[in-house]
Amino acid sequence: MSAPILNVKDLNKSFGAVTAAHDISVAIQPGTCTGLIGTNGAGKTTFVNMITGYLKPDTGSIEFNGQNITKMTPRDISRIGVTRSFQIPQLYASMTTLENLEMGFGVLALMRNKRGLFVGSDKPVPGYGNQTIRQLAEEAMERFGLSAFRDQVTRTLPGGTRKLIDIAMAMATKPKVLLLDEPTSGVSSEEKFDIMDMVMRVVKADGTTVLFVEHDMEIVSQHADRVLAFYDGTIIVDEPPESALKNELVLQYIVGNTQALSTTGQNDA
Amino acid sequence: MSADKTVIRFAGFLLALLLCASFIPQWGLFMLTIVLANGLVVLGCLLFLRAGLVSFGQALYFCFGAYTTGLAANFLNVTDVFLLLLMSAVTSGIMAWLLGVLLSKYRAIFFGLLSMAFSMILYGLLAKTESLGSTDGFNVPAVTILGYEPSSESVRVSILAVAALLALLAVSFGQAFLKSPMGLLLTAIRDNEIRVEYMGASAQKTIHTIYVIGGVFAGLAGSIVAVSVGHIDPTMAVWTTSGEFVFITIMGGIGSVIAPFLGALAFGIIHTVAFSESPNTWQLVLGTALIGIIYILPDGLWSLLSRLRGDKK
């Protein structure tokens, strides 16, 4: 087995009297796809927030490729190759889809070129051959099926499309690890399978390691090759989906509750 | 409109202005110099507003640049206008960099009021410093331009030419900056700072950068005003001066790097006409004009030009 790309050790996080993470330890292998399941408030989003620097753990450590990232800022963590999408898409609402993605690749150009202050969208992005910011943005739109929304301002777009743009923007940073926080929440049941198929096709083609928070067990079983089941701030099950989704603890604490929640349309806090 | 076209059109306008200078009365040349200087400060305010920030403290750098020029001309006997401009740009830039370390951490009303507080500190210091003339300020001696000593008849047009050159350079720089990833980030910061950070960019560093650029522009403008008026005093740092810059920013709009100069021209004309026709109530006229512009053209005077040209945005 190769060295883990992400190594989380004894992670603890409390919000006052509420324990959101309790002694969480897990190692993620490169190129894998891990599904994070659990009821609302189980600690999944807190786990994602801690890995991506949005929250700092009270104790414990997070290593990415052997580098300790526990106290790093979201910006620095993104720069070294760990980024995320959000439950509520975080887009530049006044910009078009193209402009949102150009911004992503523009930042990449800015970071990779010391003279990047004046790299125009018609200039090549260092490390991408002769491809310009515009070409990379167009290509990303094509890969995520967003070309039809190229010139539409993102605040006017439907939820599913906004989710895809959010993920496409995360992928624009060329991450080695991508954390997807409920990529299909708020999306119609017909759309969510298409969205996940599209996202997984792209991230797997790029060899990106993926961790995704998901309430739909069918999607988890389709795409995950490992399942981490959260309950009350701890990981209660860590198994492949075939066994994890039949595990008694999962059936008792998660599946029943999740199904109940999905019928009421609630999302994770 | 491409970057080059915007800059070329602005250069053409300035060139036409200078070619017609002999037909413009002295007071008109003076007013146009002040218009270009104000436009320079407002170009900095435009960058802030693109990032969703409003500074009520640009008068700090405006005054700092003017005092640098005044002090260098009086105490170091520097007479060359370009050297004076350079000195003002450097001192204002350093001041903006230092204060920017703190200010770049703040957003919204906190950014606006903190910037105003610093400018009022400078005003207080200058007003209480007797050696610098306290509230009376002091005179700035006549300047030379690369060894050329303008006569009393040509001094106005000469300084206007220098101001025009500065404005052109600032517009060229501003246009290139706004088209760069860092320039595009300004709108991104206004829209969603969380996403900016998760893209790996630094909102704070970007705001610090534009704060320094804005400080340098304001310092240059202060220097031009100092040599043009021939006198400086602490009111250049007072918050109402900063308010005028914000006023012009809203008047012109933020749609183009030319908009600040359009706003400054409108402000200059309304101010001059209102002051001569109604010296006791000119602020009333100015205020009414701004309300009218906001009501009819919420995106500023620039949007009128865009509309006439048939731009989509």
Range scoring the smallest mean pLDDT among A46-55, A140-149, A252-261: A252-261
Residue A264: the pLDDT is: 43
A&B contacts, CB < 8 Å: 87
User: Which residues partner with A227 through β-bridges?
Assistant: A35, A239
Q: CB B182 to CB A110 under 8 A?
A: yes
Residue A106: the pLDDT is: 77
Does residue A108 carry a pLDDT above 90?
Answer: no
Q: What are phi and psi of B69, to 5 degrees?
A: -65, -45
Number of Cβ within 10 Å of residue B125's Cβ equals 12
Q: What is the mean pLDDT of residues A42-53?
A: 92
Contacts of A79 in chain B (CB under 8 A): 200
- Rounded CA gap, A136 and B312, in Å? 25
Minimal-distance CA residue of chain B relative to A53: B198
- For the entire predicted model, the pTM comes to 0.84
Residue B160: the pLDDT is: 95
Minimal-distance CA residue of chain B relative to A75: B200
Q: What is the mean pLDDT of residues A193-220?
A: 89
Could you confirm whether domain A1-81+174-269 is CATH 3.40.50.300?
A: yes
Residue B189: the pLDDT is: 92
Contacts of A106 in chain B (CB under 8 A): 181, 184-185
Q: CB B202 to CB A75 under 8 A?
A: yes
pLDDT (tens place) for every residue of chain B, 313 residues total: 444 788 999 999 999 999 998 899 999 999 999 999 999 999 999 999 999 999 999 999 999 999 999 999 999 989 999 999 999 999 999 999 999 999 999 998 999 999 999 999 999 999 999 999 899 999 999 899 998 888 888 899 999 999 999 999 999 999 988 888 788 889 889 989 988 888 888 899 999 999 999 999 999 999 999 999 999 999 999 999 999 999 999 999 998 999 999 999 999 999 888 888 888 888 898 889 889 888 888 888 888 887 787 665 4
> Residues A172, A105: contact at Cβ < 8 Å?
yes
CA distances from B301 to B55, B252, B268, B294, B295 (A): 20, 5, 14, 9, 11
Question: Per residue in A204-214, pLDDT tens?
Answer: 888 899 999 98
> Residues B62, B41: contact at Cβ < 8 Å?
yes
Q: Categorize the per-residue pLDDT at A121 as very low, low, confident or very high, splitting at 50, 70 and 90.
A: low
List chain A domain ranges: 1-81+174-269, 91-158
Residues of chain A with a CB closer than 8 angstroms to some CB in chain B: 52, 73-75, 78-79, 83-84, 86, 90-95, 99, 102-104, 106-111, 116-121, 133, 169-170, 172-173
Q: What is the mean pLDDT of residues A190-218?
A: 88
Chain A interface, mutation test: which of B6, B189, B194, B198, most A Cβ atoms within 10 Å?
Answer: B198
Q: What is the mean pLDDT of residues A152-161?
A: 90
Does residue A63 carry a pLDDT above 90?
Answer: yes
Minimal-distance CA residue of chain B relative to A115: B180
Helix (H, G, I), strand (E, B) or coil at B17: helix
Contacts of A93 in chain B (CB under 8 A): 191-192
Q: What is the mean pLDDT of residues A89-113?
A: 82
Q: What is the mean pLDDT of residues A211-220?
A: 90
Q: What is the mean pLDDT of residues A128-147?
A: 86
Which of A6-9's residues contact partners 24+ apart within 8 Å by CB, and which partners? A6/A51, A6/A62, A6/A63, A6/A64, A6/A82, A6/A177, A6/A209, A6/A211, A7/A62, A7/A63, A7/A64, A7/A66, A8/A51, A8/A60, A8/A61, A8/A62, A8/A63, A9/A60, A9/A61, A9/A62, A9/A63
Q: CB B197 to CB A78 under 8 A?
A: yes
ipTM surpasses 0.90: no
Does residue A101 carry a pLDDT above 80?
Answer: yes
Angle between helical axes of B26-50 and B58-75 (0-180°, round to 10): 130
Residue A115: the pLDDT is: 52
Q: Categorize the per-residue pLDDT at A135 as very low, low, confident or very high, splitting at 50, 70 and 90.
A: confident
Q: CB B188 to CB A169 under 8 A?
A: no
Q: CB B201 to CB A107 under 8 A?
A: yes
Number of Cβ within 10 Å of residue A39's Cβ equals 22
- Rounded CA gap, B46 and B251, in Å? 11
Contacts of B173 in chain A (CB under 8 A): none
Q: CB A110 to CB B176 under 8 A?
A: no
Chain B interface, mutation test: which of A49, A75, A136, most B Cβ atoms within 10 Å?
Answer: A75
Q: Categorize the per-residue pLDDT at A18 as very low, low, confident or very high, splitting at 50, 70 and 90.
A: confident
CA distances from A69 to A25, A60, B204 (A): 15, 11, 21
CA angle (A128 as vertex; A207, A92 as ends), nearest 5? 80
Residue A260: the pLDDT is: 43
Q: What DSSP string runs through B184-239? A: HHHHHHHH-HHHHHHTT--HHHHHHHHHHHHHHHHHHHHHHHHHHHSEE-GGGGSH
CA distances from A40 to A36, A53, A75, A254 (A): 12, 21, 27, 9
- How distant is the Cα of A191 from the closest Cα of chain B, in angstroms? 24
Comparing A256 with B159, which gets the higher pLDDT? B159
**Both tokens assigned to A209:** 């390691």
Residue B32: the pLDDT is: 95
Residues of chain B with a CB closer than 8 angstroms to some CB in chain A: 176-177, 179-182, 184-185, 187-188, 190-192, 194-202
For CA atoms B27, B30, B36, B41, give the dihedral sign: negative
Q: Categorize the per-residue pLDDT at A265 as very low, low, confident or very high, splitting at 50, 70 and 90.
A: very low
Comparing A95 with B307, which gets the higher pLDDT? A95
Residue A266: the pLDDT is: 44
